[in-house]
Amino acid sequence: MKYIVVLGDGMADYAVDELGGKTPLECAKKPTIDYMASHGEVGLVKNVPENLSPGSDVANLAAMGYDPQKYYSGRSPLEAVSVGVDMKDTDVIFRCNLVTVSDGEPYENKTMIDHSSDEITTAEARELIAAVNDAFANDKFTFYPGVSYRHIMVWDKGPYDFTLTPPHDILERKISEYLPKGEGSELIYDMMKRSYDILSNHPVNIERARRGLKKANSIWIWGEGKKPLLSEFKEKFGLSGAVISAVDLIKGIGMCAGLDVIEVDGATGNIDTNFEGKAKACIDALDGGADYVYIHMEAPDECGHRHEVENKVKSIELIDEKVVKYLKEELEKRKTDYRMLILPDHPTPLALRTHTRDAVPYIIYDSTKDMGGTAKVYNEKTAKESGIVIEQGHRLMERFIGENID
């Protein structure tokens, strides 16, 4: 038996006026996913505990079978693993976004325009992070480049009691109410404020402005954490496997869990990602002996943050057509027995443009049997109507694999 998780980040939503009071999952044409829903188990799963923030870090840990209450040590360390940062136990790790803030007013009165700086390219971002590191690196602080707008700052022997806000939570809002708070926060704020002067007129940003793109004119520091310690996935579940994602966070979780990380050309973390390449990489991994593959697609989440209604629907349709359908056909050609788990990690409602901790709909499909489900299609409503609710998200992996593991 092979096991595949297809995770559409932020795919769940609320009813949307522009969609006639339906959710993107209700509107999307997804015949293969709906077929699996009608022959599998559909239910709801709560990936985010009440006492933790509904980030992709917490939610994907749960979706991968790890109890966030036990294993969560912050978002940024998981990303740092992926970009090769050698962490010490005394390090405090932060996410450092390259963001676009408004021009013309004092820094504290600026507005958060774009948490991703128009999805800045990795090559451009590396030049800007190098300039930031040149300006601020010392015996305490070091900046490390990641992918696109997502980067890492390490504070050697730093404090660990902050109130820091994700930039995607405050789009189109004044940043004044969301500036860093806590011990040592004045040092973080000083770097954020000074970065505006360093980056605004950097040659990379001058060229971006010439091309009509948003400037990556500030850093935004958030998501603090310490070195993570996950048990190996194979030790925990008895399966060897791999992770496929464009996002450093997911790669980092996979690496910490002892899973292989498969790189796919053209994987962007947005709706223009290489969906087909991810699906083909999954089949190659399974053909090569992997028992388990976790395919993560960021596109629905980014569309939710950007309030791109049509693109969120389209991203779900692309997951169905380019990933789920392809996997089903290829595995059936090989006469391979498999189970597939399809779910979001958390909702990213278009109306809110940020994450919520609501339970999300899931499907467990088993190619060897009809699981006798009552749902005809897959969406938030049919999942709720099933009456099945997995209260602790990490327990869904046990249900999926068919094991009872403490």
Contact status, residue 155 vs residue 137, Cβ threshold 8 Å:
no
Residue span of the structural domain in which 46 resides: 2-73+230-401
Contact status, residue 155 vs residue 222, Cβ threshold 8 Å:
no
Q: Are residues 238 and 316 in the same domain?
A: yes
Give 227's pLDDT tier (boundaries 50, 70, 90): confident
**Confidence (pLDDT) at 127:** 98
**Confidence (pLDDT) at 83:** 87
Give 373's pLDDT tier (boundaries 50, 70, 90): confident
Q: Is the pLDDT of residue 304 over 80?
A: yes
Q: How do strand 112-114 and strand 338-343 relate by DSSP bridges?
A: unpaired
CA 72, chain centre distance (Å): 15
Rounded CA separation 110/31 (Å):
45
**Confidence (pLDDT) at 41:** 97
Q: Tell me the Ramachandran region of residue 182: left when phi exceeds 0, alpha when psi lies from -120 to 50, beta otherwise.
A: left
Whether the model pTM is above 0.75: yes
Evaluate whether residue 80 is within a structural domain. Answer: no
Q: Are residues 156 and 122 in the same domain?
A: yes
b/e sequence 188-201, b meaning 16+ C-beta within 10 Å: bbebbbbbbebbbe
Task: Calculate what percentage of the chain has a pLDDT beyond 90.
Answer: 90
Rounded CA separation 261/294 (Å):
10
Among the candidates 173, 191, 225, a domain finishes at: 225
Give 73's pLDDT tier (boundaries 50, 70, 90): confident
Contact status, residue 148 vs residue 118, Cβ threshold 8 Å:
no
**Confidence (pLDDT) at 255:** 94
Lowest-pLDDT range of 139-143, 202-206, 228-232, 308-312? 228-232
**Confidence (pLDDT) at 14:** 98
**Confidence (pLDDT) at 404:** 40
Evaluate whether residue 268 is within a structural domain. Answer: yes
Q: Are residues 260 and 165 in the same domain?
A: no
Evaluate whether residue 287 is within a structural domain. Answer: yes
Q: Is the pLDDT of residue 240 over 60?
A: yes
Here the tokens at position 393 are 């998200």
Q: Are residues 302 and 323 in the same domain?
A: yes
Contact status, residue 394 vs residue 367, Cβ threshold 8 Å:
no
Domain harbouring 67, CATH code? 3.40.720.10
Q: Residue 298: enclosing H or E segment and its boundaries? A: none
Q: Are residues 168 and 37 in the same domain?
A: no
Evaluate whether residue 91 is within a structural domain. Answer: no
| CA angle (243 as vertex; 239, 245 as ends), nearest 5 | 165
Q: Is the pLDDT of residue 390 over 60?
A: yes
Evaluate whether residue 39 is within a structural domain. Answer: yes
Span 264-281, pLDDT tens digits: 999 988 899 999 999 999
Evaluate whether residue 89 is within a structural domain. Answer: no
Span 116-172, pLDDT tens digits: 999 999 999 999 999 999 999 999 999 999 989 999 999 999 998 899 999 999 999
| CA angle (299 as vertex; 326, 63 as ends), nearest 5 | 80
Contacts of 80 (CB under 8 A, 6+ apart): 87, 93, 144, 152, 154, 252
Lowest-pLDDT range of 22-31, 85-94, 322-331, 349-358? 85-94
Task: Give the position of tokens 């693993």.
Answer: 81
Give 374's pLDDT tier (boundaries 50, 70, 90): confident
Mean predicted confidence (pLDDT) in 64-70: 96
Q: Are residues 307 and 286 in the same domain?
A: yes
- Mean pLDDT of all residues in the chain? 95
Span 375-387, pLDDT tens digits: 999 999 999 999 9
Q: Are residues 21 and 126 in the same domain?
A: no
Q: Are residues 252 and 196 in the same domain?
A: no
Q: Are residues 221 and 237 in the same domain?
A: no
Here the tokens at position 354 are 């940020």
Question: 258, 337, 242: which is closest to 294 by C-alpha?
Answer: 242
Contact status, residue 400 vs residue 291, Cβ threshold 8 Å:
no
Give 406's pLDDT tier (boundaries 50, 70, 90): very low
Question: 75, 62, 253, 88: which is closest to 156 by C-alpha?
Answer: 88
Evaluate whether residue 90 is within a structural domain. Answer: no
Q: Are residues 269 and 345 in the same domain?
A: yes
Among the candidates 203, 225, 247, a domain finishes at: 225
**Confidence (pLDDT) at 269:** 86
- DSSP 8-state symbol, 16: B
Contact status, residue 98 vs residue 129, Cβ threshold 8 Å:
yes
Evaluate whether residue 83 is within a structural domain. Answer: no
Count of the separate structural domains present in the chain? 2
Among the candidates 182, 206, 225, a domain finishes at: 225
Q: Are residues 299 and 368 in the same domain?
A: yes
Span 95-112, pLDDT tens digits: 999 999 999 999 999 999
Q: Is the pLDDT of residue 403 over 80?
A: no
Q: Are residues 210 and 268 in the same domain?
A: no
**Confidence (pLDDT) at 138:** 96
Mean predicted confidence (pLDDT) in 199-218: 97
HSE value, Cβ hemisphere, 13 Å, CA-based, for 341: 29
